[in-house]
Structure 1
Amino acid sequence: MNASLKALAAALLLGGSAMAMAANDGQARVNELLSSDPQFHDTWQGVVKKEERLPEWVMNLSGDAEQMNTVQEDGDNYLVGPLCESRDTCKSDRLIVAVSLDRKDAYAMLVKVPAGLPADKSPTRHADYRFLGKPDQGMQDLLMEQLKKDPNWY
């Protein structure tokens, strides 16, 4: 293999790993938070312990999750991301979670849409929203904005 071909191969390998690192961005997914951070486990238990009739996947933050993003609210940074019990249930049940970077504060919005809602009906108008963790109005707005970023939400 000549030197320029080796250099090209090395550049492709490095470029691929750089893209993988950029995609990961060093950030978490909602379904990894409880297992990766003992401090957050206590924080989340404080959010859900007094709530009634929460699904198991919400209590345990288990299921299908996308990458979380850093978002600022009232001068503080939060990791924010969605969680669904499974990809198939995402249209009818989803949780949007916001966690402070120090893991001491957590908020969530559970969104339920009636199962079997016809495609021509707007999920926004038929959804039931339940806030967890007693978020103030600014945090409620942040959670709603995250939901609106979903291209299937109208």
Structure 2
Amino acid sequence: MAYLTIGDKEYKSRCDFAFDRLANEKYSTEDEKGKGGTMNIYMSLLNEEASYLSAFWDCALAYLKKEKPSTEAIEEAIMKIIDEDETGEAIDKMINEAFTTLDSAGFFKGVIRQRWKMMEKMNKGKKPAPNETPEMEAKRLEDEENGKEVLKMMKEAYKERTGSTTTK
């Protein structure tokens, strides 16, 4: 579970309906896969995108409703931790805590497990088309290799974040 001190108050993160609703409202991206906000935050934290710490905390505190700190207050608290850190490890620690909290949240286990299964399935070899030209075959094989490399990198990042070799 991740915690964040804002001012003199410590806040506990919560990954629930409010998290998902706000994530989908504010942090969704439309791409060919139609990523929802929660998965966008998850994948961005997996890839060490520090700017998504703010998004994580914005959503993780959504359950507080009217008492929820502003995004600016959240970002100031994150920057304070980074600025006061003499080891240079605060940002990695915060990203790992946020990622692990989201990854282990029971509320999101199903969708996260499905995303990993989908990525695995997408990287299985595709059957050649009946009218496949040598150029098409080369492109298909190159895409398969690139996909395998991306999945391998994501699994390595997952292991780094969680210490576990098993993805959901």
TM-score (norm 1): 0.25
Relative contact order: is structure 1 or structure 2 higher (C-alpha 8 Å, sep ≥ 6)?
2
- Indicate the structure with greater helix content: 2
TM-score (norm 2): 0.24
